[in-house]
Amino acid sequence: MARQDGIPRTLTLEIVTPTRMVVRDEVEEVVAPGSEGYFGVLGGHLPFMSTLKIGELAYRKNGRWRYLAVSWGYVEVRPDTVIVLADVAERAEDIDVARAERARGRAVELLGRREDETVDVARSEGALTKALTRIEVAGKT
């Protein structure tokens, strides 16, 4: 929808993973975890692209904020559209907290043995960040 000055007032947000369309909605604002840091987008934003890191993606619709956990991917911003292509994306209400707690426990256990050369430290750190993000986002339902 456009304002009288022609600047789009809302954004079409699409969040897609390799297996499904997680969100397709008209929204007022998006805040995404860019690899250089979190950024916010309103309607009429100049086009740009960014890579995504593991983190929380929030969007505002009818004044209410909704949250997802996302990890890795790309965001394409246009004045009236935000397209997120992510490796994984889960709405806060769909997150299995017990599973995330188990993933956190495994990652912490592995990182406790980081001197062991069989432990892939970077991968374990990524798993820990993912698990902590899921737990935090799930708390926002």
Interface residue list for ligand ATP (CB under 6 A) = 88, 90, 94-96, 99-100, 103, 127, 130, 134
Q: Minimum Å distance from CB 100 to ligand ATP?
A: 4
Q: CB of 106: closest distance to ligand ATP in angstroms?
A: 7
Tell me the closest approach of the beta carbon of residue 134 to ligand ATP, in angstroms.
Answer: 5
How far, in Å, are 34, 47, 70, 119, 132 from residue 115 at the CA level? 31, 45, 29, 8, 23
Residue 98 and residue 80: Cα distance in Å, rounded?
37
Nearer to ligand ATP (CB atom), residue 11 or residue 100 = 100
Judged by beta carbon, residue 11 or residue 22, the one nearer ligand ATP is 22
Helix (H, G, I), strand (E, B) or coil at 59: strand
Looking at the Cβ atoms of 11 and 54, the one nearer to ligand ATP is 54
Q: CB of 13: closest distance to ligand ATP in angstroms?
A: 18
In terms of CB distance, is 29 or 90 closer to ligand ATP? 90
**Which CB, 26 or 96, lies closer to ligand ATP?**
96
Helical (H) or strand (E) element with 72: strand 64-78
Cα angle value 25/30/35 (rounded, 5°): 125
| Alpha helices (H) in the chain, listed in sequence order | 97-111, 121-138
CB of 117 to ligand ATP, least distance (A): 22
Helical residues (DSSP H) of 11-59, grouped into ranges: none
